[in-house]
Structure 1
Amino acid sequence: MPRVAPGQRKLRRVKCDETKPSCHACISTGRKCDGYTPNVEAPPDLPLSRPLSLEFLGTQSERRSFYFFQQKTAPQLSSFFGDDVWERLILQAALHEYSIRHAILALGSLHAKFEQDNGLIKQNYTNEYADKFALENYGQAINMLVTSLSEQGRPAIDVCLICCILFACLETMRSSYGSAITHVQSGMKILSEVKYDEKTRCYQHDVLVASKLPYVSIEVLKEMFMRVDHRVTQMVSGENWETPDSEQQYVPKPETSAIFSTLSNVSASLVTQWQMSSYSITDTGNPPGRGVPAALDIDPWQKKSRSILARWSSAYDVYLNIRGDNLTNEKRKGTAGLRILKELGSVATMLTQPIVDDETSWDVFCPIFQNVVSLAEDIVELDSEVSAERSPFCINMAVVGPLFQIACRCRDPIIRRRAIAILRTCGRIEGTWNAFSASQVAQRILDIEETGLQNVRSCMDVPSWARISNASPVFDPLERKATLTYSQARTKHGLTRRTMVDVIEW
């Protein structure tokens, strides 16, 4: 029996010279390089753009921005969870989709400028980029997406969602948080409109196409948006925020695994199930993070969330027992970040609110708040040890959102000031959270509550009438200021409260 099929030649094996992304030995002879993980082919039911060479034969600026994104931006967007989405799948999508490619070029260019300026890059206050190359590619990415909708037929769901995430990252890096949130909302709206047909085992959308072979699966994209949504809804609130109606519109997934294989699995499991439990309780008013419902209404959510947290904690402990001794600094930061989520999650499941606006109900959680602040200090310290050149920008939440919540709700003067001090000095930007901006709002809340009080040595020294509630900051996308809306007692020792608005500038 012949070892080579008739009519075919046997290619001589060529040793891979390990040049990335494809070895020169293979390229020069027209061979397919087998030395690396094969690229995912573009979906057959979509009109393909001209394939992009792995060597990325564009202009010098394009090559520089693309490789910066590949080497610096993608790993940082993955953060300490090591998401394969950023470091492989989205890069592969850029080889075929012009909209994603131009978004990557814009983000890579802007991120390079961001690092060059030590994280202080700002758009000019005339609402224009300092980076013209980034602006041009950002505009081209949007135009390509719109063109595919109007001329080339319906674009794919995954392509639109990937672009929403990339656009949100762009706007976040240029400190335009309002626009970043708008892009996240657009993605969440698309997800809320996606339906899964169990009979055909296909996704459906009224306008967009669900590819049979998406670059990134709808389930993974849903988890990505859930993570971002988890951050955004701590910073803003809005009546028109789109959320998935239930888990049934996606492929049914099993409950929390008894053992996690990666830290990314640990994170995705907690955040996704936590968010979905909030969305699926339809008879409880607003879930935590979107306003605290009345005491009687919170019980169904608490019951379900306690069960989720208990199952997740058991699996998380098993993961640490197996891998805890071999964790890198990045993974150690990841585990610390997840412990922060676990601690604050336990607060949410235990919190009862028998009296409306009773801010003293937070006092019992001071030990937990202290643990969270210590974990945040560990993360910031590990960050400083990794590299002095590392940009403080990432899409995943670690410390900024939790520290801001503690600075607002913990009235212990020492814990509170430690939280604000970390925010003021760490220089981190996590998703739509800017640590320094958050510190300015937190400091104003502290000043409002402690004005006129003498010798504040513990949370008991801040009386109920002095405490503010329902604090809701809106950060200006163009200027260094925020508008803080909150409630406070009308008079000293008064029971009725009034809504106040304060503009904070720095």
Structure 2
Amino acid sequence: MRSSTESRALEFFFHKSSSQLSGFFEGSFWKVTVLQLSLVEPAIRQAIAAIGSLHEHKGGCKLLPSFNTAGGEPHPAIQLYTRALRSTIEKSAADTGAIPVVVVASILFTAFEFLRGNASAAASHISNGINLLWAWREKTGSRPRVPWGQGYSSFQSYFVETELAPILSLFNLNSSEFHPGTRRKVLLNPVDTGLLILTDRFESLREVRVAMVDLVTATAAVFQLLDQNLKLGKLPDAGLLTIISGLRQTRDRWKTNFDDLVRRQSATWDKNEQDAAEVLRLMWYSTVMGTTTYRVGSECAWDEHREDFEEIVRIGEKIVSDPDRYPDELSKTLCLDFGLLYPLHAVAWKCRWPHLRRKGLDLLRRMPRKEWWYEVSHYHDVFLQIMEFEEACVDPHEVSTTEDASIIPEHVRVHDFYTEQTSTKANGCTLHKLTLLTKPNGLDGDWHFTTEDLWLPTPPQDGDTVSPFNLFCCKDWAKAELSNTQTVNLVTKAVLGPEESPGTSSDDSFHGKRSMLMAPILKPTSASGFLQVSKHDLAGAELPRHGPLYHTRAKSITLFLRMTKDYGILVFETTLDLKQLTNKA
């Protein structure tokens, strides 16, 4: 029998929390699926009640201590959460076929920890969910073989792949910078001999988003591989460069197909669908900002992106100002559906037009207070301090009357920053040390480090939070000091394409054909971490670096890089005749 506390929390969840967590794309899960499952699964009922109870307190700006200071009892939200965890463990142990329900629970537990502010626990639940998704695919043999949303062998597989996997994949992508590389990655569209197979053309907005999340996930995996190889002193070979080039082509073709969907269907869309399309445009601008980070040779080069900054502000203003979506402060407690922080990261920092920059800062102040586990107010305060640092050399009157980015000279512009949390606390805030990196002696000069105090609001919480960091920070492979300028330029050109534009490809042959993410690698040319096999010279073979070689009594064996397991990306595969191997003396 449920308690009055649980009943109240459930009512709050369904009247308030579910709508906020649904966002633009996941209403079916948060408004329908969890309601239906809560009627028959105690773990799901307790988990959503825990979210509702916690949301009510967080939304009311109340503190949530781990224990009630008067009676020593855990807060009701913690009690419900603990019961949900226990019920999930019991369900998993008693029913080996309960993977879909346990995955649902993992998503709910992750949302609870995002709201609670416990990054490590949220990361753990994401890992569990991803591992369960892999286990489900292996158990049912349901690795994607046709484009997402099509051809599932059972209703359960359809449910797992179309309702649960997109949420897990998005969570995984947007939290990957915390303990990077420790979690498996998953793609929702099929991969066949290095090819990511997308549908011939998009027919729904969710399909568009899934394709983009797949694309960014694959890019992150390849960038991670580049970094790993760099640490081993290995340069990218022709095969890997082909993969990277394929990523760029697919990104451009995604934009072409999205624009095609808008032309065909936008006249029939309701307000929510129109807004969802704007969110997808924002995702596109996020990729533009992300790739620009690898292109610019100076901070002043960002000044060429004013139109991009203006479009990000336009879309952000439209979203944040919507009274239907954000009628009050409670509705701005947490966002799990889309990322506004990342593109505003560019506007509030890399945009030096005074008024436009301040619009970006204002949007950070007014948008949902938390995206996944990122505290948005912390980034607002960091970028405000960076702006004040850069504008300190300019006449205040000129800043207020001139809309000209060039008033901020290159030598004072902040190229990078990092923060370090201290143990000093006062008035509900924690002291951080904000270090700003500049090039006062020219771009070829040494880095100059300026460290300032930064007080950030830090409410009591269980577990650890993620201190603000540079979301635009280039990976190691793109840093000339860790590789060399020639290598960086080579890979960057493959990633971004022609120097003049990171924009849309004009390749009209895309329609009606498969979209290529990774071209097949038929003959890797050097030791890049890929399996390299020659039937004429087995002595030259390089075994997989990411997993064991499986032994078998079969007549032939397929050897492949363990990236299939670790990243969900099949990069290279070859089948060898064991008789040939045995006879090679």
Answer yes or no: same fold by TM over 0.5: yes
The 8 Å contact of residues 223 and 268 in structure 1, kept in 2 or not, is answered as: yes
What is the deviation of 1:174? 3.3
Match of 1:223 among 166, 169, 173: 166
Q: Distance in 2 between matches of 1:501 and 1:125?
A: 34
What is the deviation of 1:126? 7.8
What is the deviation of 1:108? 1.9
SS in 1 for 2:382: helix
What is the deviation of 1:251? 9.8
1:359 equivalent to 2:359? Answer no
What is the deviation of 1:88? 2.5
The 8 Å contact of residues 64 and 75 in structure 2, kept in 1 or not, is answered as: no
Letter in 2 for 1:78: S
The 8 Å contact of residues 400 and 434 in structure 1, kept in 2 or not, is answered as: no
1:403-450 Cα deviation digits (max 9, x unpaired):
123312222322221100111134543322343332112212222333
The 8 Å contact of residues 13 and 49 in structure 2, kept in 1 or not, is answered as: yes
1:139 equivalent to 2:85? Answer no
What is the deviation of 1:271? 1.8
2:283 equivalent in structure 1: 341
Q: Distance in 2 between matches of 1:301 and 1:362?
A: 27
Q: Distance in 2 between matches of 1:504 and 1:300?
A: 44
Match of 1:488 among 429, 433, 437: 437
The 8 Å contact of residues 438 and 448 in structure 2, kept in 1 or not, is answered as: yes
1:468 equivalent to 2:414? Answer yes
SS in 2 for 1:81: coil
1:440 equivalent in structure 2: 381
Match of 1:94 among 38, 44, 50: 38
What is the deviation of 1:373? 1.0
SS in 2 for 1:504: strand
Against the structure 1 CA distance between its residues 270 and 67, is the aligned structure 2 distance closer, same or farther, given a 3 Å change threshold? same
2:308 equivalent in structure 1: 368
The 8 Å contact of residues 172 and 185 in structure 2, kept in 1 or not, is answered as: no
2:474 equivalent in structure 1: none
1:332 equivalent in structure 2: 274
2:372 equivalent in structure 1: 431
Match of 1:418 among 352, 356, 359: 359
Match of 1:73 among 17, 20, 40: 17
> Could you tell which deviates more after superposition, 412-421 or 277-286?
277-286
> Could you tell which deviates more after superposition, 217-226 or 265-274?
217-226
SS in 2 for 1:244: coil
RMSD, matched Cα: 4.3
Q: Distance in 1 between matches of 2:91 and 2:322?
A: 44
Higher RCO (CA 8 Å, separation ≥ 6 residues): 2
1:202-221 Cα deviation digits (max 9, x unpaired):
57xxxxxxx99469415643
2:575 equivalent in structure 1: none
2:337 equivalent in structure 1: 396
Unaligned runs of 5+ in 2: 144-153, 230-234, 457-585
2:461 equivalent in structure 1: none
Against the structure 1 CA distance between its residues 362 and 242, is the aligned structure 2 distance closer, same or farther, given a 3 Å change threshold? farther
Match of 1:268 among 205, 210, 216: 210
Unaligned runs of 5+ in 1: 1-56, 204-210, 288-293
Identity of aligned residues (%): 20
1:457-486 Cα deviation digits (max 9, x unpaired):
533333333233343457899964474665
Q: Distance in 1 between matches of 2:352 and 2:106?
A: 38
The 8 Å contact of residues 158 and 215 in structure 1, kept in 2 or not, is answered as: no
The runs of at least 4 aligned residues of structure 1 exceeding 6 Å deviation read 125-131, 245-254, 294-299, 474-478
Match of 1:450 among 388, 391, 397: 391
1:309 equivalent to 2:287? Answer no
SS in 1 for 2:23: helix
Against the structure 1 CA distance between its residues 472 and 164, is the aligned structure 2 distance closer, same or farther, given a 3 Å change threshold? farther
What is the deviation of 1:123? 2.3
Against the structure 1 CA distance between its residues 340 and 239, is the aligned structure 2 distance closer, same or farther, given a 3 Å change threshold? closer
Against the structure 1 CA distance between its residues 417 and 110, is the aligned structure 2 distance closer, same or farther, given a 3 Å change threshold? same
1:84 equivalent in structure 2: 28
Against the structure 1 CA distance between its residues 484 and 225, is the aligned structure 2 distance closer, same or farther, given a 3 Å change threshold? farther
Q: Distance in 2 between matches of 1:325 and 1:219?
A: 26
Match of 1:380 among 306, 320, 327: 320
The 8 Å contact of residues 373 and 419 in structure 1, kept in 2 or not, is answered as: yes
